[in-house]
Structure 1
């Protein structure tokens, strides 16, 4: 299913859903962040996705990271909570979702990056290389907040 990210776009469709979702900020021992290239829009992003019924939200972070990247993680904290009503994600099935995402901080436990149905590329990316990648501004905000290592999470 294709998706279009509307960010501060007055012509965006009106949101008709909110889904609890996560993203995961995890770095390796070289301080490189784990990123995927999404198959639905071609943009680079942190791994993540929607919570399933019967699952704790931290379990969502672990599951989605493993499914999309092949990497095992342990959740260690929260980077931030991202709920910008001016960020609407439009799907080809007619859903227009207001962003609602918890970005978790995690520790890398193991596994080798590999692609999935949701990721056409998966790799550890050096901080200096981030500006060369096509990353949505809302995702870049989470990555930047992750690298700030703030004691308190971002709430916005």
Structure 2
């Protein structure tokens, strides 16, 4: 099975061999719960998201990836931040790709659908903000969610 391994400031991390524009999406419902997936490739909880495809905008990618991974159709509403820390390397064991982090994190509201798992998500849940701290997730994903929950006025640029 193909795995995803996240490294941060780790001397054991492979050297990056790619940079791919990608997105994550914070979808919150009217009760403030956040839509999260339980990933199949690393067993962590995460925001929905993925790589941008040729011929689409980043916001198109955000809408597509959220629908593919969660079954929820969304409308983009804002920006949490841009995350490009070269100390964060993501290794994909299926092909040896070692990707330097490059993720734009959007906010969105649900406009249709129902939580549905996919090949990338073993669970799809609306999670209460206070329960998020107890979920297993990568450090970079937790930073993104914490930034959203802090309701910072300006997007993160780093």
Place the TM-score, normalised by the shorter chain, in its bin: over 0.9
State the shift of 1:147 in Å.
Answer: 1.4
Q: Deviations over 1:39-79 (max 9, x none)?
A: 11110000000001000110000000000000011001110
Q: Distance in 2 between matches of 1:33 and 1:146?
A: 10
Q: Distance in 2 between matches of 1:31 and 1:48?
A: 19
The aligned residue for residue 35 of structure 2 is 34
Q: Distance in 2 between matches of 1:22 and 1:34?
A: 15
Unmatched tracts of structure 1, length 5 or more: none
The aligned residue for residue 112 of structure 1 is 114
State the shift of 1:148 in Å.
Answer: 2.0
Structural RMSD (CA): 0.8
Name the SS for the 1:143 alignment partner.
Answer: helix
- Check if 1:152 corresponds to 2:154: yes
Q: Distance in 1 between matches of 2:74 and 2:152?
A: 20
Name the SS for the 1:58 alignment partner.
Answer: helix
State the shift of 1:22 in Å.
Answer: 0.1
TM-score w.r.t. length of structure 2 = 0.96
**How many pairs are equivalent?**
156
State the shift of 1:154 in Å.
Answer: 0.3
Moved more, 24-33 or 141-150: 141-150
Q: Deviations over 1:82-135 (max 9, x none)?
A: 001110001111110000000001112121101001100000000111121101
Q: Distance in 2 between matches of 1:47 and 1:152?
A: 22
Q: Distance in 1 between matches of 2:112 and 2:32?
A: 15
Q: Hey, which bits of structure 1, 4+ residues long, moved more than 4 A?
A: none
Unmatched tracts of structure 2, length 5 or more: none
Q: Distance in 2 between matches of 1:114 and 1:78?
A: 25
TM-score w.r.t. length of structure 1 = 0.97
